Amino acid sequence: MTAMIKSGLAMLDVLERWGVDHIYGIPGGSFNSVMDALCEKRGSIRHIQVRHEETGALAAAADAKLTGGIGVCFGSAGPGATHLFNGLYDAQMDHAPVLALIGQVASTAMNTTAFQEMNENPMLADVSVYNRTVMTPESLPAVVDEGIRHALGHRGVATVTIPVDYGFEDIPDTYAPSAPSHRAGFVSPNERDVEEAVRIIQLAERPVLYAGQGARGAGDAILALADKFSMPIVLSVLAKGIIPDAAENFMGMAARVATKPANEALAASDCIVFVGSDFPFAKFFFPEDVRFIQVDTDSTKLGRRHKTDAAILGDAGETMRRLAALGEQKPVSDFLKACRLNKRNWDTWLRGFETSDEVPMRVEPVFREINRIAEDDAIFVTDVGNTTIHAIRLLRMNGVKQLFTTSGWFATMGYGIPGGIAAKLSYPSRQVFTLSGDGAFSMSMQDITTQVKYNLPIINVVFSNNSLGFIEAEQEDTKQPRYGVFLEAVDFAKAGEAMGARGYTVTKRGELAEAFDAARGSDRPVVIDVKIANTRPFPAEAMVLDPQQYSAQDIEAFKKRYAVADMPTLRELL
């Protein structure tokens, strides 16, 4: 006689076979059959009760980014489902595999305008690579299994809508999940394409290697290729931490969330080797006439961002190793020497502020403390805004075990706290920092209670300047009045304490060490609210000070405002 099992439990068995050990969400009546199954499954799959479905979806996206596996969240019918969208679009745009389980009214009540009933498939279609409503109790485990395969295979979001009555039904316990058959491989590059790329690189006088998150895990290949062909290295923000920040040839990040050496290297380049990235600002920050070599595993991205001279369909690491194996070793060029000096000048300039006693505080002393207490395998979750700029410039990551994540392409504020929850659940023995501005922290601060509930000792750092600083800077650039960007002051440390965390308010440099030492040894979540000056980060995108675009008076005023009078441009070093 065939054994029977509740359909909801059979579905959770599928998740378990795919390695899922926690799932984020808030119960609702339309999701009660799955909650019933989760209750029976306690111990193998934890339900993480968040205080907002958006937190759950963002945490699931962060799980996927940090582990490479599937992140899972859920929302009940109607508002529970719609609250997931911010996190699901973050996952879509950053190519993170996420499964979203969506509640629905009972099958007998569907299409009768029942309470909270809505047709969820059209709403979810744009964000999903797989979007289905389960039609029978027997098909529930198979549909979820198929959704996970699509999410992992296409690096995107799978959404499965489940009528609430189906999860309670008994079905034959015969479904075999496909997880054991899952394979992940890489595309080997075409040899002719590799040879053509090498030919172009060899002829270039000022080549630059630009790598994105598609090169994660290939840090050694990045460094070797740059050394072989005398190339400075620039990374996308999502690739932060792939190589050590201290690497001699590493210039930093490009565009607005950027470093001066990186933007100047790209502006002066005559060849860009563009690996594992879909950088959306390439047409604004890359020279139009530069020779362009692109490497990607997705053929639809080849040639999308720039006129391409050599396109290589292939795995980033394998392709870079093949490139480095061909061609002749280039001696260190004058261009690379100038770029290295430019970076040293930049680092010296940044570090010059680390002991500043200005009040309100600068951010550099804060990051000095973060770097001081950060462990060799620490995880940094950075929220969106000026904090992103500060983090990519000032975090000194080792390029070995440390991890970095943020909301990259969708760039949604409020990513920090959910990402911290995901990081600590996925890597419970590792130190986790969340770094947020006061605007971003306010968007998800209620889920400090989630960190407390599940005993997640995360170090949450809030940079409070009472402004949406990134937007304020945009208003400055477009010569608009500052409007709608100023925030009411909040004591986030006290708010954290009210939610069960330890809280520390810091107003001057002398208070930093004590707060961070206490945070390092804390057995529960910590909120460090650092009151900083509302000062715009140095706009590295404007540092390519072309005399044909800027008057001598404008250049002098710019250098004076940002105290960079003694820091020459790459053009001057060349």
At CA 524, angle to CA 520 and CA 527, rounded to 5?
70
What is the C-alpha separation between 472 and 486, in angstroms, rounded?
A: 8
**Which tokens go with 139?**
């098909």
Please write the tens of the pLDDT for every residue from 434-451: 999 999 999 999 999 999
What is the C-alpha separation between 494 and 299, in angstroms, rounded?
A: 51
Please write the tens of the pLDDT for every residue from 59-103: 999 999 999 999 999 999 999 999 999 999 999 999 999 999 999
Q: State yes or no: cis peptide before 360, omega within 30 of 0.
A: yes
245: left (phi over 0), alpha (psi -120 to 50) or beta: alpha
Query: Could you please report the per-residue DSSP string of 440-490?
Result: HHHHHGGGHHHHHHTT---EEEEEE-SB-HHHHHHHHHTT----S-B----
Work out whether strand 98-104 and strand 46-49 pair parallel, antiparallel, or are unpaired: unpaired
Q: Burial, 125: exposed, middle or buried (Cβ in 10 Å; 0-12, 13-18, 19+)?
A: exposed
How large is the average pLDDT for residues 419-428? Answer: 98
- C-alpha torsion 51→54→55→56, nearest 10: 90
What is the C-alpha separation between 529 and 149, in angstroms, rounded?
A: 42
Q: For residue 143, what pLDDT is reported?
A: 98
Measure Cα distances from 85 to 101, 114, 117, 124, 302 in Å.
Answer: 12, 23, 17, 8, 29
Band of pLDDT at residue 340, cut at 50, 70 and 90: very high
Asked if residue 463 lies in contact with residue 439, where contact means CB atoms within 8 angstroms, the answer is no
For 401, which DSSP code?
S
Band of pLDDT at residue 297, cut at 50, 70 and 90: very high
Query: Could you please report the per-residue DSSP string of 285-340?
Result: HS-TTSEEEEEES-GGGTTSSS--SEEEES-HHHHHHHHHHSSPPPPPPHHHHHHH
Please write the tens of the pLDDT for every residue from 256-278: 899 999 999 999 999 999 999 99
Band of pLDDT at residue 55, cut at 50, 70 and 90: very high
Please write the tens of the pLDDT for every residue from 490-500: 999 999 999 99
What is the C-alpha separation between 467 and 335, in angstroms, rounded?
A: 40
Q: For residue 372, what pLDDT is reported?
A: 98
Q: In this prediction, what percent of the chain has a pLDDT beyond 70?
A: 98
How many residues can be counted in the chain? 574
Decide which of 41 and 328 is more confident: 328
Query: pTM score, two decimals?
Result: 0.96
Residues annotated catalytic, as ranges: 53, 115-116, 256, 384, 470-471, 474
The answer to whether residue 546 scores a pLDDT higher than 80 is no
Measure Cα distances from 189 to 31, 301, 315, 317 in Å.
Answer: 46, 15, 7, 10
What is the C-alpha separation between 45 and 21, in angstroms, rounded?
A: 4
Query: Could you please report the per-residue DSSP string of 31-73?
Result: GHHHHHHHHHTTTTSEEEE-SSHHHHHHHHHHHHHHHSS-EEE
Q: For residue 554, what pLDDT is reported?
A: 73
Band of pLDDT at residue 27, cut at 50, 70 and 90: very high
Q: For residue 550, what pLDDT is reported?
A: 63
Q: For residue 549, what pLDDT is reported?
A: 60
What is the C-alpha separation between 136 and 450, in angstroms, rounded?
A: 34
Give the SS3 label for residue 23.
strand
Band of pLDDT at residue 544, cut at 50, 70 and 90: low
Which of 412, 411, 414, 434 shows the shortest CA–CA distance to 423? 434
Q: For residue 194, what pLDDT is reported?
A: 96
What is the C-alpha separation between 24 and 61, in angstroms, rounded?
A: 11
Q: Which residues of 495-531 are buried (b: 16+ CB within 10 A; e: fewer)?
A: bbeebebbbbbbeebeebeebbeebbeeeebbbbbbb
Asked if residue 564 lies in contact with residue 555, where contact means CB atoms within 8 angstroms, the answer is no
Please write the tens of the pLDDT for every residue from 159-217: 999 999 999 999 999 999 999 999 887 789 999 999 999 999 999 999 999 999 999 99
How large is the average pLDDT for residues 331-341? Answer: 97
Give the SS3 label for residue 9.
helix
The answer to whether residue 390 scores a pLDDT higher than 80 is yes
